[in-house]
Amino acid sequence: MLAAILVGLIALEHLYILILEMFLWTTPRAIKAFGMKSIEEAAATKALAANQGLYNGFLAAGLIWGLLYSDKQTGESIQQFFLICVLVAALYGGATAKRSIWLVQGLPALIALIFVMV
């Protein structure tokens, strides 16, 4: 049960990131969250951010699919796959963009993965 709650929280986090990147990119909230310096910078990168948001949506969709899958074992395998995807993306993002991604996305995904696997 705790594993499902953690996976659900990771899915919600990625839905929130989707919303920020696809729909709120040029707002003060997104500019602050992603460490941009100006609205001009946000406007110039809006299409790229929307693409990233779409990928975050796919991660959330996969996690939700795993939670709702009728066969428990297969559902957990789906969850593991998508949690590993989140973890790999967080490792890369933390190394190349912003180190806090390791803590904000990577660590929760790792914790959820551990709980799904036990």
Rounded CA separation 102/62 (Å) = 21
Q: What is the pLDDT of residues 48-64, one digit of tens each?
A: 999 999 999 999 999 99
Taking CA atoms, 53 is separated from 4, 48, 62, 71, in Å, by 23, 9, 14, 29
Q: What is the pLDDT of residues 8-41, one digit of tens each?
A: 999 999 999 999 999 999 999 999 999 999 999 9
Q: Is the pTM of this model over 0.85?
A: yes
Domain boundaries defined on the chain: 2-117
